Copies of this chain bind each other. A is one copy, B any other.
Amino acid sequence: MYRKHKPDFSFFRTLTFMLFEQFKSAFPQLKDKWDEYSTYLHRIEVPAKTVLLREGQISKKAFHIEKGCLRAWINKGGKDITFQFFFEKETISSAESFRKNIPSFVTIESVEPCILHWISKSDLVKIMNEAMEIPEIRASLIDGIFERHFNYTRQLVSFITQNPKERYLKLVKERPHIVLRVPQHYIASYLGITPVSLSRIRNSVS
């Protein structure tokens, strides 16, 4: 392997960084806009296992995580298969549903009690249209899309080239916070195996 896992510096995460301090100094061009933009964000607190977007619905909100953990999962014949985990400072929406106004194939749900900030699609589009006019921000956003894409590609490569045990060890090594924080049966489905099988793998490792 040529490189380590990089955090998911996605399109939306990039945006939310803009909204959440980090980019303010990098992009003083938008200085006057911050106050306006920040009114677009709506703070909510939700308990664990709260569904934020149901499979089949059309995603109209993006969520930024201040505190807690979310997961996106896919319904496969009644079973729930975790597709992605999201943690503090990450932003999540069902990207294809959000962008193309089609039904989402994932359900987005809280794993822990969370503090979230959501923004509506229409407000986000408004900000985007302004931000895209600024070359540095545009470049940064495009970079963000590519990074997100490369991360997903790596996850796909991992499925193609590694067996479940290798994938588990890779996860422990590269993203240990997931293993420490998330119930094991969610991790099992994320790795493409059953909870029973993951338990056996863990047993064989230690």
- Is A145 at the interface (CB under 8 A from chain B)? yes
Q: Residues of B contacting A105 with CB < 8 Å?
A: 1-2, 157
Q: Which of A65-81 contact B (CB under 8 A)?
A: 74, 76, 81
Choose the segment among A96-104, A117-125, A170-178, A198-206 that binds chain B (4+ C-beta atoms closer than 8 Å).
A96-104
Protomer copies = 2
A54 shortest CB reach to chain B, Å: 13
Interface residue count on the A side (C-beta < 8 Å): 31
A58 shortest CB reach to chain B, Å: 11
Q: Which of A54-95 contact B (CB under 8 A)?
A: 74, 76, 81, 83, 95
Q: How far is the CA of A132 from the CA of B142 in the complex (A)?
A: 11
Q: How far is the CA of A38 from the CA of B156 in the complex (A)?
A: 35
A136 shortest CB reach to chain B, Å: 13
Flag if B102 contacts A157 (CB, 8 Å).
Answer: no
Choose the segment among A39-47, A107-115, A146-154 that binds chain B (4+ C-beta atoms closer than 8 Å).
A146-154
Q: How far is the CA of A48 from the CA of B102 in the complex (A)?
A: 41
Q: Residues of B contacting A196 with CB < 8 Å?
A: none
Q: Contacts A142-B142, A149-B145, A153-B152; is A160 near B161 (CB within 8 Å)?
A: no
Q: Residues of B contacting A153 with CB < 8 Å?
A: 95-96, 152
Residues in chain A within 8 A of chain B (CB atoms): 1-3, 74, 76, 81, 83, 95-96, 99, 102-103, 105, 132, 138, 142, 145-146, 148-150, 152-153, 155-157, 159-161, 189, 192
Jot down 20 A-B pairs with beta carbons below 8 A, ordered by A.
Answer: A2-B103, A3-B102, A74-B160, A74-B161, A81-B161, A83-B157, A83-B160, A96-B146, A96-B150, A99-B146, A132-B138, A138-B138, A142-B142, A142-B145, A145-B145, A145-B146, A152-B156, A155-B156, A160-B189, A160-B192
